[in-house]
A and B are shown apart, each in its own frame.
Chain A
Amino acid sequence: MSLDIGVWIGALLTLGIFSFLYRDNPFYKLCESIFVGVSAGYWFCVFFFDNMVRKFYFGVFPSEAGIEPKYFLIVGAVLGALMLTRLIPSIGWISRWPLSFIVGATAGLYMMLFFVSNGLNQVADTMLPLYRETAGGDFDPAETLGTILVFIGTFTGLIYFFFSKEHKGLFGGAARVGIFFLMVTFGAAFGYTVMSRMSLLIGRMDFLFRDWLGLLG
């Protein structure tokens, strides 16, 4: 059994969270409250040192000679400070200014990023010649079949998401094929989710039985 105080704290907190599997209880609620408080404090410190100290403070007051101070960062700090007005109800509406800045920037940035990466690039990778050849110039049946499958799956999947026309007749048939591909995708995603959660669970069990109790070699 471990004699490290840190391991003991980690182990007791792990057991506290696992106790929820029995039912909601004070031990779980205590660990949950610790998690809420610690994680809020953790992110506060991370953003304080990474964004405020490193980016803002050392930007405006460079620590090395010869580096130009970036006074324009003060405007960002003023904008950020306006966000705190939300805590004062009478002037809380001012906090919409920095919020609008973030929302506008995100909208403009994501509009182009998603248009290129999720839109244009995906379409370009789908609109390929269906007849595929090996490096030696021979017919490649496996790659050809795969390319056809990807083309049909993408096209019919998009048809399924097109709700302006009723899914009947040929259009409805194509939408049903699209559902088939989407279900395979969701099945794979589900499988990966199960595996990742199991992996975390194994990690926690390994911590309890190896690091804390020392039962595993």
Chain B
Amino acid sequence: MRREVPLLITFITGVVFALSYFIPGGWLGQTERVFGDWITIVQAFAVWLGVLNLLKISLIKIQRKEHDWGYSVVIAVCLVGTIAAGMYSGFAPQFESFRDPETPFNFIFRNIFAPLGATMFAILAFYVASASYRAFRARNREATILLIASFFVMGGRVPLLDSIFMPIIDGTFFADFAGWIMSYPVTAGQRAIAIGIALGIMASSLRVILGIERSHIGGGN
């Protein structure tokens, strides 16, 4: 029960989705669409599981008064507050949808979630700068190639190099050169990586469907 049923479910769903590519109509295609709808619902429960787990961990930390438990209070309050705002926005009759611009949920999204998310990624600009320094020291041939490629792509994609060299080179030479790099050498490299990924995913998917790879059910026999 604990191993056989999950392996059987994996095998059946995997085979249905793989075969429905070749036979999109009929009962196989219909089964695939039903499975697709089920996935959408299971995804929602998976998010609930994550949220409940976060709440459980935070409450345990608060109860035991562990190190920095005050931040767990903030997490729990913000979590419950956002859900409460979302439920009110979704069910209150004056709003058409929970995404309406006037809803409390949208206020939280616009003024808390979006600024925090954007700043979290923006802060990486500073760490990318220090990573650039390490990468661009051009200690060997490969690093030099990486340096040259990124220099021309960055300088060409924004009108920086063309503006600097305008008195010497007229037109959009650097923008065109960046375009050429993207169209040919980068395309070649990306294709090699993409084909490698395709082969890897096919092999690992087959292992999962056939039950050779069992890490998702705890591994072992």
Residues of chain A whose beta carbon lies under 8 Å from any beta carbon of chain B: 6-7, 9-11, 13-14, 17-18, 20-21, 29-45, 47-49, 51-53, 55-56, 59, 70, 72-73, 75-77, 79-81, 83-84, 86-87, 93, 95-105, 107-112, 114-119, 122-123, 125-126, 146, 149-154, 156-158, 160-161, 178-188, 190-195, 197-198, 200-201, 203-204, 207
Contacts and interface: CB of A to CB of B under 8 A. Distances in A.
Contact of A107 (B14, B122, B151): B14
Contacts of A150: 184, 187-188, 191
Given A80-B45, A194-B128, 6 more contacts: A42-B113, A52-B44, A87-B49, A188-B181, A194-B154, A195-B154
Nearest to A14: B119
A9 B125 contact: no
Interface residues of B, number: 125
Contact of A18 (B36, B76, B123): B123
Contacts, number: 399
A202 to B, nearest CB: 8
A84 B82 contact: no
28 contacts: A7-B111, A9-B111, A17-B116, A33-B71, A38-B78, A39-B117, A40-B51, A40-B79, A41-B83, A43-B51, A45-B82, A45-B89, A47-B43, A84-B45, A84-B48, A93-B2, A96-B216, A98-B45, A99-B216, A101-B38, A104-B12, A105-B35, A111-B209, A157-B191, A158-B196, A194-B128, A197-B125, A204-B122
Contact of B128 (A97, A184, A197): A197
Contacts of B192: 153-154, 156-158, 160-161, 178, 181-182
B107 A6 contact: yes
Given A73-B37, A84-B49, A200 B98 contact: no
B2 A146 contact: no
Chain A binding surface SS class: helix
Given A9-B111, A39-B113, A83 B49 contact: yes
A98 B143 CA distance: 46
A88 B128 CA distance: 42
A81 B188 CA distance: 46
B132 A52 contact: no
B10 A107 contact: yes
B150 A6 contact: no
